[in-house]
Amino acid sequence: MSAPAKELVPLRLDGVIAYPEDVAAQYRERGYWIGQTHSDLLAKTVSDHADRVAVIDSVRTLTYAQLGERVQLVAGELAWRGIGRGDRVVVHLPNTVEFVEIAFGLFELGALPVFALAAHRLAEIRQFCAGTSARAYVTVDRVGLTSYRDIADDIAREIPAVATVLVPAGDESWTTAAPLPRRGRALPSDVALLQLSGGTTGTPKLIPRTHDDYLYSVRESARICAIDERSVMLAALPISHNFTMSSPGLLGMIAVGGSVILAPDPSPDTCLRLVEQHSVTHAALVPPLLMAWLNSSARHTADTSSLVSLWVGGAKLPAEVARRVPPELGCSLTQVFGMAEGLVNYTRVGDDDRTVFTTQGRPISPDDEIRVVDDNGTPVPDGEPGHLQTRGPYTIRGYFDAPEHNRHSFTHDGFYITGDIVIRDSRGYLQVVGRSKDQINRGGEKVAPAMVENHLLAHGAIHDVSVVGIPDDALGERICAFVIRRDPEAQTPSAAQLRAFLRTERQVAAYTIPDMFEFVTEFPTTSVGKIDKKSQGK
Ligand code: AMP
Ligand code: DBH
């Protein structure tokens, strides 16, 4: 058994900016932080709802009792591999039951999962392993055509300090002998996990979330979205993404004893079939996926009458699309405007149609502080657009180990500068009307142009490159790379060659590869001589 909590001291992790003591005390007093860890959350539901179905993927179905047992077994296996309290562990798994077992196995040990997306490749995984000084990288042998084992082999060679763990698939068993004793366990105030930010720079930003703050947002999200033990959520998007994980997501379902169906792919054919098969009540979707559902012929053949509400967010949902949800899918719509850094806004059950279709909701907490300011930092009146800054009981005070970046991303009084331009109405509802950060939002997937530019600049035949988002009906934005070749007379490298370069030489995630390449001899510049990205993005 692990040591009693009173013998534990708070985990100290260099590079984490904690909430100020007095603020933390206030969040506890007000009942936001209740002293619960992720392991406590699961244990409570295992006891309250032992026989209800917790998770289903294409291979396995586990009740909460079974999930609880598997998590103990997996925790033992991970401990045997030397993983313990405070260790960072990069988790790179698709939407399968193993993901849930590993995540909670790590929570059980007080280790911190770093939630990579299944779409990430060696370039991103290497950065997460190095940036967190990871103890281990956990993945599977392969998924479809992708060999994750190859990534594991490369990581093992490049960063020998990282132990690589290949998770046995489905019911196959782990191969180890008796587990070792555990090195302590988590306290509620400890950092529980590191989420990823879409970021705006050449290196990804890591977001440290504590058990206390993350689970406050999860429990409130579950309450706002009115889910309970009869709810069945379809996880169509990557389960490791903050939205699918916590708004209210996988964790919200676990909080109330509901069931999570893990979709192997997000296509409407697969998803709508799963909706019928498992009488799905809720799903979290990005706008392009919602559009794909609405426009899919599968919608007319699959019985979707079980749907109660769709949670849609990650990128701006056009009002014309929002309006189609109730009549065409027979369920309600909830808009979700959130960020892995913290703040999450929802439209509410009972809101009038106009609010639900045209706003991105209002914050979870009465103590979410919202500031909407002009370029000089002066607050603007309600109804006028401005930069959104926020502070509150589940919004971080700084990225992990990024002092320089934190100076630009947080105000001196601890507000997170979101980079979103919003309009707040007199009731506190927000509308996202633009963005001031250098980031492309490709249908909910966030891409930092600087990252793509760096990879392209590694190509010997490229003189310079500028990556921008350009408007797209389906995705909201597409990625376009303006490229100046070294040899202005040459016809190569071609777009196809550059795509292949990014995929096979640089090994970046497919969603970051530009949709379009434009070959130019110079970039437009602003009056001070900077590249004029605004004019390129038109
Ligand atoms: P990240 O910080 O990488 O978690 O991405 C969060 C960002 O996604 C927000 O700051 C917004 O720019 C964007 N976003 C999330 N939800 C919405 C939404 N419902 N409407 C518009 N933008 C959104
Ligand atoms: O886009 C996001 O990051 C996001 C969207 C909706 C998010 O993190 C969330 C809800 O929690």
How many whole angstroms separate alpha carbon 111 and alpha carbon 86?
5
Report d(CA 220, CA 267) in Å as an integer. 30
Q: Where are the domains of the chain?
A: 31-219, 438-536
Closest CA to 254 of 242, 245, 264: 245
The full 3-state SS of 92-130, as one line of letters, equals: CCCCCHHHHHHHHHHHHHCCEEEECCCCCCHHHHHHHHH
Q: What is the pLDDT of residue 282?
A: 98
Q: How many other C-beta atoms are found inside a 10 Å radius of the C-beta of residue 438?
A: 16
CATH topology of 31-219 equal to that of 438-536? Answer: no
User: What's the 314 CA to ligand 1 centre distance in angstroms?
Assistant: 5
Quote the CA–CA distance of 148 and 122 in Å, as a whole number. Answer: 9
Compute the distance from residue 181 Cα to the ligand 2 centre, in Å: 37
CA of 419 to the centre of ligand 2 (A): 14
- Ligand 2 close to Cβ of residue 207 (< 6 A): no
Q: Which has the closest alpha carbon to 246: 54, 38, 106?
A: 38
> Residue 6: its pLDDT value, please?
52
Give the distance (Å) from ligand 2 centre to CA of residue 286.
Answer: 9
**Can you tell me which atom of ligand 1 is nearest the CA of 419?**
10
CA of 345 to the centre of ligand 2 (A): 9
Residue 314 CA, closest ligand 2 atom number: 1
| pLDDT for residue 132 | 97
344, 368, 390: which to mutate for ligand 2, most atoms within 8 A of CB?
A: 344
Ligand 1 pocket residue status of 420, Cβ below 6 Å:
yes
Which pLDDT value is given to residue 481? 98
Beta-carbon contacts of 30 under 8 Å, excluding residues fewer than 6 positions away, are 367, 393
* Nearest alpha carbon, ligand 2 atom 6: 338
Q: Cα separation of 102 and 124, whole Å? A: 20
pLDDT of residue 516: 98
Is the shortest distance between the CB of 338 and ligand 1 below 6 Å?
Answer: yes
CA-418 nearest atom, ligand 1: 10
Which pLDDT does position 169 carry in this prediction?
79
Q: Tokens in use for 266?
A: 């997000």
Q: Show the low-confidence residues of the chain (pLDDT under 50).
A: 1-5
Sign of CA dihedral 395, 419, 288, 307: positive
Sequence-distant (≥ 6) Cβ neighbours of residue 330 within 8 angstroms: 304, 305, 307
Determine contact, residues 243/249, Cβ cutoff 8 Å. yes
Nearest ligand, CA 335 = 1
10 Å CB burial of residue 273 (0-12, 13-18, 19+) is middle
Note the pLDDT of residue 533. Answer: 84
What CATH number is given for 31-219 in this structure?
3.40.50.980
**Main-chain phi, psi angles of 301, to 5 degrees:** -105, -30
* Cα–ligand 1 centroid distance for 333 (angstroms): 18
For ligand 1, the distance from its centroid to the CA atom of residue 433, given in whole angstroms, is 11
Q: Tell which CATH architecture fits domain 438-536.
A: 2-Layer Sandwich (3.30)
Tokens of 502: 């990014």
Instruction: Return the ligand 2 atom nearest residue 245 CA.
Output: 11
pLDDT value for 534:
82
- 162-187 per-position pLDDT tens digit: 999 999 976 677 766 566 677 789 99
